[in-house]
Amino acid sequence: MARIAVTGSTGFVGSNISEALGLLGHSVVGLTRNGSSYTATWPLVDVNYSSDESISRALDDADAVVHCAIADDFRRLLNDREAAYDNYVVLTERLARIADSKGQKFIFISTDWVMDGTGHRELESNHGNAINYYGFLKSLAEQAVHSSLDGRGVVARVAGVMGRHRIAEAPRLQDVGFGFYVDTLVRSLRAGNEFQVWGGPNVNQITTPSLASEAGAQISRIIERDATGTFHLVGDTAVTRMDLAYAACDVFDLPRHLITEGEPPAAELFPGPVPVDSSLANEHTKSVLGIGPQPLHDLLGAFRLEIDGGTVSPLTVD
């Protein structure tokens, strides 16, 4: 098994990926700016991301690097473009270059929001056409991986990520993307409260939901098979926000009558346009990685096991 360094392992996606990799027998070390603020089941190593020397020391003995860390204060990204570019593009290139110099596999976690939202189940070969600054930064970081590693790196896009933060409370509830959407719905309906499904032109309305821990399991396959290129770590089903809400009600045995519809409050709008349909195709990914079917109800069932059982439960476990 591999020794894997994970940036952003104290975040939502990164914590699930880290725990899933550990479940599958890998040795995980989390790279963080302030490890003393967290308690994780994997070791945390503080690193100065602006220093090549600090990064290089932190990556000693690793076989692979999974770069999940992001700056997620989106309004700040718009107000401080230099810091935003450094946090997304410069840091990704720096990590990729250093990992490559050590002979380590580099995997960059990207997003469905590199797409403009006018297509449906976009292919892995689509380079995207981002319509907001976050998607633009992620797209630039993708290109930094491909160009600096000359085809040796991996871009792994996720979409509509379901899961529950493994070491901290979620930083926010429902947003105009699909982040934390199902978790927030389950918490609300289990408490007997109504859940409003947001709609309208400023909301990401269709995606292909994935499970954060399953993304970790598929990253394990990428490392084990030494795969390269762009992959879509998503489920098989493109679904609307309302259909996802109803599907979650069915799998979690929750009442549909508590589901309502409405537009998001002005304070919750994203500072820019969002893709309407950010669904991604995954046929190429499943073929290369030998992944089985990923139907929505199976992913929701795995997420229910995670919530009720307390441990990650990816579909791909061999």
Query: Does residue 140 fall inside a structural domain?
Result: yes
Query: Does residue 165 fall inside a structural domain?
Result: yes
Number of domains in the chain: 1
Element (H, E) at 229: strand 229-232
Mean pLDDT of the region 181-191: 95
Query: Does residue 117 fall inside a structural domain?
Result: yes
Domain that holds residue 283: 3-309
Whether residue 208 is predicted with pLDDT greater than 90 in this model: the reply is: yes
Residue 300 belongs to domain with CATH number: 3.40.50.720
Percentage with pLDDT > 90 across the chain: 85
Place of tokens 């602006």: 50
Which tens digits make up the pLDDT trace of 271-314? 899 999 999 999 999 999 999 999 999 999 999 999 999 999 99
Query: Does residue 318 fall inside a structural domain?
Result: no
Which tens digits make up the pLDDT trace of 6-15? 999 999 999 9
Which tens digits make up the pLDDT trace of 216-262? 999 999 999 999 999 999 999 999 999 999 999 999 999 999 999 99
Side chain identity at residue 163, one-letter code: G
Task: State the pairing for strand pair 259-262/210-211.
Answer: unpaired
Spatial distance between the Cα atoms of 184 and 199, rounded to a whole number of angstroms: 16
Which tens digits make up the pLDDT trace of 124-141? 999 999 999 999 999 999
Query: Does residue 100 fall inside a structural domain?
Result: yes
Which tens digits make up the pLDDT trace of 60-88? 999 999 999 987 777 787 788 898 899 99
Element (H, E) at 32: strand 27-32
Query: Does residue 116 fall inside a structural domain?
Result: yes
Query: Does residue 314 fall inside a structural domain?
Result: no
Query: Does residue 316 fall inside a structural domain?
Result: no
